[in-house]
Structure 1
Amino acid sequence: MERGMTADQVLKALWRRKVLVGAIVLAVFAVGAAIVLSQPKVYEATAVVRVQPQRPGEEMVQRTVSELVEQRLLTVRQELMSRPVLQRAIEEMNLYPEIVSEDGIEAAVTRMRKDLTVRVEGESAFELTYASNDPQVAAQVANRLPQLFSEQALKSRQEQAARATQLFQDELTSLSKSVTDWERKIAQFKVDHLGELPEQLEMNMRGLERVGALLQTKSEELRVAEARRSELARARNAADSEAGRLESAEHSLTQQLVGARSSWTADHPEVKRLSQELSSMREKRKDAEGRQWVERQERARVGDLIATIQKDIDALHQQAGEYQQRLDRTPKWAHELGVLQRDYEIARTKYQSVVSRRVEAEIAQDLELKSAESLFHVVSPAGVPAVAARPDRVSGMIIAFLVALALGVLTTMVLEMRDDSIRDTEELRDRLPLPVLAVVPNMHGKAEKRVLMPATGVRNGVVPPSSSDSPLN
């Protein structure tokens, strides 16, 4: 049966079974030591990388890569353990050739994830540790992985900057076509409504004023010409009367001269007088007819002048009408042109904004290329480890010894607790409800033999077996 044990009983039990305890301890320790000694050496190499901030660049130009490079530390472990980075490292340095040949690259990537440890240090640095059976390979991989990570991160940032630049370029091409279309529409609109545009309003008003002034001038010239024609008409009547009167007088004098010549000789005073009067009358008639011809020419000239002035006045009235029509239609075309120019200004503003953003994107892309080498700085490169990190053989030996010792003690305790043998009077008192009357000493050799005589045995004539007869002695 099971029972509790005191510390003294435990020590006595261990001492009685010291051979068994020693055998168990030696066997378990030998197995543990063999396991510890059979473990391969694993070397660990560590590299520390610091991320440089990019504040000066952001002050100079608006960056198209919105993510700060320091923010990549939040996901640095996932990125370093991503398949592209690890696969490139495996292929580049020929890692895990047996796993790759037997199970494929995916199994090698999984194994490398187990051998790789990434830990963020502070706000701008991370520590990368790689474990390998070869110290040279451990140092080589620990130094190469930060380079691959930085190349991957920089490539991603540069691709993002290039995509932003290309996006602005595509948008600029589209907006350029839109601006060109609007400019063509506005130009065609101005051609179609030339002379009636808002910017020509003042010119049309001045033209109308100028035509009005010319009309006044021509009207005055017409009035003067009409008056002159009236005067010439009245003078014509008078001239006609004078020429007729002189012609009639000349005809009368001619008859009288003919009558006188028939009556008198040429030297007669009456004949001479009539001849002189006739000559004078003819001169007056010719002079009157000459003036009449001049007046007729003047009347013709004045008539032509009046016709010309009237034609000019009609032309000026037509021009005034055209100017007035232009002025009447200008508000309508001004509204339509305003709508066109408003849409054109919107498109042009977008175009100028995109041009500015594209220039900034190109500058940002150049800055990404120029600052690539300074973004990630290896503060502490990984050196070749001289001592294996695993396994710790001394600690392993100590743990194996402690496990062996614990197993030996545990085995002894289990056997002791399942043993029902009685070895002394105290056990007898504890296990039997009868009092002990005497102890018979062990008489073998010089040792004293004691016999335990319970009172019940004497009373009933039964003597209990001696200590030497106990199966546990």
Structure 2
Amino acid sequence: MQTPSSLNAGQEPQSAGFGEYLGILRKRRKLLLLVALPIIAIGAALALGLPDVYRSSGQIELEGAQNIKQNPNALGQDPDESPYADQYVRSLSTVVLSDRNLAKLLAEHQLYDDQAEDPSAALSRLRGDIKVDIVTVPILDPTTGRERDVVTAFTVAYDNRQPERAQQGAQWLVNSFLEENRNDRRRQAAGKAEFFAREAERIRTHVAGLEAKLAEFKSKHVGKLPELNEMNLSVMDRTENEIQNVESQMQALRRERVFLVAQLQQARAASPETANLRALEDEYARKSVQYDQSHPDLIMLRRQIDQLRAGGSAAGQSLQAQLQTQRSILAEARQRYSEDHPDVQRIQRNIEALQARIASGETADRTASADSPMAIQLQTQLNATDTQLAALQARAMELRTKLSSLEGRIVAAPEVEREYQAVTRDLASARAKYDELLRRQMDAEVSEAAIAGGTADKFRVKSTPKIPEGPAKPARAAIMIIAVVLALIASVTMVIMAQLFDTTVRGARDIQDILGVAPLTAVPVIKRASGGKRKAPAPAYAATAALAVLAMACAAVVVRFMA
């Protein structure tokens, strides 16, 4: 025969089964109902008693949202696009939902029946009934290759117990968001235009100073500017050629002078006037072959020949008479030739030489009393040659001075060019900046005008607020489900707690847990015969709970209909 200790050693404690748990719940059903029914009653009261609240909402889409949705590569291509659109919407909400702005809404629309009695409470209630939610779309960022949320729109919703009032409030809020965005962008454009105008005026003053500096630099370095280098080189080449030409003329005049001096000496050696007449006639015949009859030399020879044939002599003529003769010859030559003709210029130089001699105090030719007309003519030509030679020498000196000045300009050109480039570079940069500021100022002014006219809005109403067809809250089914779940959790928890703290022995398992030994046998529960009398299953607490639920439900219905 086995002892209890041996039986305990040979058997393991049995775990509680589903039937035992079900028995516990059946045994604790009073506590279960006592906890669950009030919670369910409260949930039913809330589900039935809370008044209907209608919600009207409108959605405002940001500019470029459709392009970003269809083409993620367009993200960030707009220079005016803000990467912090959500922050901008929130900052815009603080302005729209400010007390002053919401007070305008309450003044324009009757949203609450008691808003005139307590404006501050109505204002607080209005702010609590408004909801602003950001709408984002996940896209693949082309720059990072990762998925990110992009703000494309935001919704503005307003809750009210009457659907018409909900639609009026939501519509007013949507319009207020649009108007505030327009005002904000207009202020920004006006600020930009004013800033660019100030900067443009400052740069314009700077440009004027640089232009004055450039003008002063040009006046200081006349002819040395780099843009005149090609012209200076060309003038230098022409000057060198002109110097060579003048030197060639001077060499020719020097040879002619030597020839005239030799002829003058021969003419002074031959004294008879007849020889002079013959020499003049021979010279006239020789020159008449080369020149026209109106040539000044032929005219002068004819006058000398006529004078000798008339018995007169050119000898002894005063300088004044010679000057008069040369002037008459010059007058006849000007009728035939222009002022640039060599003969006209030669006669002018003879006249200038005679005038210079007269101004020096001479009254007659130094050899007038002894020289023949041929000698006088040769002396005149010699004087003219000397005058031309002196003029050419002066011209050569002038050209060499000019050539030296040109060489100095070319040598100084690199240093002048360096300073000139610095001044012009600063001026060009300032002018470009000035033009850019003017352009941006004009763009800002045009943008401000477009924003004021409503043709450049960044917000677009995607869906306008409408009168709601049904209430948005409360969610009565959800309240009941939550109440049932909470009642179930609370009641089961209370049953478990009661079972844990209950020390009553109610079976073989409790004896085994307390004494540590298994009983030899267990007497089952002896049920009464079917014909016996049973105790009524409806205790007082169940009736009380049912009445409480019914009373709370009725109160909730009354409150709902009164609201």
Structure 2: where are the runs of 5+ without partners?
1-13, 68-75, 139-149, 275-310, 317-367, 534-563
Residue 244 of structure 2, aligned match among 199, 212, 217: 212
- The 10-residue stretch of structure 1 (411-420 or 162-171) with the greater mean CA deviation from structure 2: 162-171
Tell me whether 1:27 sits opposite 2:107 in the alignment: no
Residue 58 of structure 2, aligned match among 36, 47, 51: 47
| Alpha-carbon distance in structure 2 between the residues aligned to 1:222 and 1:136 | 120
User: Residue in 1 aligned with 2:435?
Assistant: 355
Contact 2:56 / 2:466 at 8 angstroms: preserved in 1? yes
Letter in 1 for 2:38: A
Cα deviation 1:299-332 (Å, max 9, x = unaligned): 6634642442243033213212222212221213
**Cα distance, 1:447 vs. partner?**
5.5
Based on CA coordinates, which of the two structures has the bigger radius of gyration?
1
- The change in CA–CA distance for 1:207 and 1:297 in structure 2 (over 3 A counts) is same
User: Residue in 1 aligned with 2:417?
Assistant: 338
Letter in 1 for 2:271: A
Tell me whether 1:116 sits opposite 2:132 in the alignment: yes
User: Residue in 2 aligned with 1:327?
Assistant: 406
Aligned residue for 2:465, secondary structure, equals coil
| Alpha-carbon distance in structure 1 between the residues aligned to 2:489 and 2:313 | 175
The number of residues matched between the two structures is 394
Contact 2:132 / 2:155 at 8 angstroms: preserved in 1? yes
User: Residue in 2 aligned with 1:277?
Assistant: none
| Alpha-carbon distance in structure 1 between the residues aligned to 2:379 and 2:399 | 30
Contact 2:243 / 2:399 at 8 angstroms: preserved in 1? yes
**Mapping of residues 31-180 of structure 1, within 5 Å:** 31-35=42-46, 39=50, 41-53=52-64, 66-68=79-81, 71=83, 73=85, 75=87, 78-81=90-93, 83-87=94-98, 89-94=101-106, 115-121=131-137, 125-134=152-161, 135-136=163-164, 138-153=166-181, 172-173=200-201, 176-180=204-208
Cα deviation 1:349-388 (Å, max 9, x = unaligned): 4324752674377357636827845643222222233433
- The change in CA–CA distance for 1:299 and 1:189 in structure 2 (over 3 A counts) is farther
Aligned residue for 2:97, secondary structure, equals helix
Cα deviation 1:61-81 (Å, max 9, x = unaligned): xx9971336x56555654454
Contact 1:165 / 1:361 at 8 angstroms: preserved in 2? yes
User: Residue in 2 aligned with 1:400?
Assistant: 483
**Mapping of residues 285-434 of structure 1, within 5 Å:** 292=371, 294=373, 297-298=376-377, 301-302=380-381, 304-347=383-426, 349-350=428-429, 351-352=431-432, 355=435, 358-359=438-439, 362-363=442-443, 366=446, 369=450, 372-373=455-456, 375-421=458-504
Letter in 2 for 1:381: T
Letter in 1 for 2:253: E
Contact 1:172 / 1:354 at 8 angstroms: preserved in 2? yes
| Alpha-carbon distance in structure 2 between the residues aligned to 1:441 and 1:205 | 145
- The change in CA–CA distance for 1:204 and 1:35 in structure 2 (over 3 A counts) is same
The TM-score normalised by the length of structure 1 is 0.62
- The change in CA–CA distance for 1:438 and 1:323 in structure 2 (over 3 A counts) is closer
Contact 1:195 / 1:326 at 8 angstroms: preserved in 2? no
| Alpha-carbon distance in structure 2 between the residues aligned to 1:409 and 1:333 | 107
- The change in CA–CA distance for 1:414 and 1:80 in structure 2 (over 3 A counts) is same
**Cα distance, 1:392 vs. partner?**
1.7
- The change in CA–CA distance for 1:12 and 1:194 in structure 2 (over 3 A counts) is closer
| Alpha-carbon distance in structure 1 between the residues aligned to 2:314 and 2:507 | 198
Cα deviation 1:393-421 (Å, max 9, x = unaligned): 33323433443354345434544554444
The TM-score normalised by the length of structure 2 is 0.53
| Alpha-carbon distance in structure 1 between the residues aligned to 2:182 and 2:374 | 106
- The change in CA–CA distance for 1:6 and 1:120 in structure 2 (over 3 A counts) is same
Aligned residue for 1:130, secondary structure, equals strand
| Alpha-carbon distance in structure 2 between the residues aligned to 1:225 and 1:304 | 9
Structure 1: where are the runs of 5+ without partners?
56-62, 243-282, 449-473
| Alpha-carbon distance in structure 1 between the residues aligned to 2:202 and 2:196 | 10
Contact 1:47 / 1:382 at 8 angstroms: preserved in 2? yes
- The 10-residue stretch of structure 1 (356-365 or 220-229) with the greater mean CA deviation from structure 2: 356-365
| Alpha-carbon distance in structure 1 between the residues aligned to 2:440 and 2:391 | 64
| Alpha-carbon distance in structure 1 between the residues aligned to 2:313 and 2:136 | 136
| Alpha-carbon distance in structure 1 between the residues aligned to 2:199 and 2:247 | 58
Tell me whether 1:236 sits opposite 2:272 in the alignment: no
Aligned residue for 1:220, secondary structure, equals helix
Say what the alpha-carbon RMSD is for the aligned residues.
Answer: 5.2
Contact 2:268 / 2:372 at 8 angstroms: preserved in 1? no
- The change in CA–CA distance for 1:343 and 1:162 in structure 2 (over 3 A counts) is farther
Contact 2:58 / 2:171 at 8 angstroms: preserved in 1? yes
- The change in CA–CA distance for 1:211 and 1:148 in structure 2 (over 3 A counts) is farther
| Alpha-carbon distance in structure 2 between the residues aligned to 1:172 and 1:31 | 72
- The change in CA–CA distance for 1:377 and 1:104 in structure 2 (over 3 A counts) is closer
**Structure richer in helix, relative to its length:** 1
User: Residue in 2 aligned with 1:224?
Assistant: 256
**Cα distance, 1:136 vs. partner?**
4.6
Letter in 2 for 1:132: D
| Alpha-carbon distance in structure 2 between the residues aligned to 1:391 and 1:24 | 25
- The change in CA–CA distance for 1:18 and 1:207 in structure 2 (over 3 A counts) is closer
- The change in CA–CA distance for 1:93 and 1:34 in structure 2 (over 3 A counts) is same
| Alpha-carbon distance in structure 2 between the residues aligned to 1:189 and 1:120 | 62
| Alpha-carbon distance in structure 2 between the residues aligned to 1:284 and 1:392 | 150
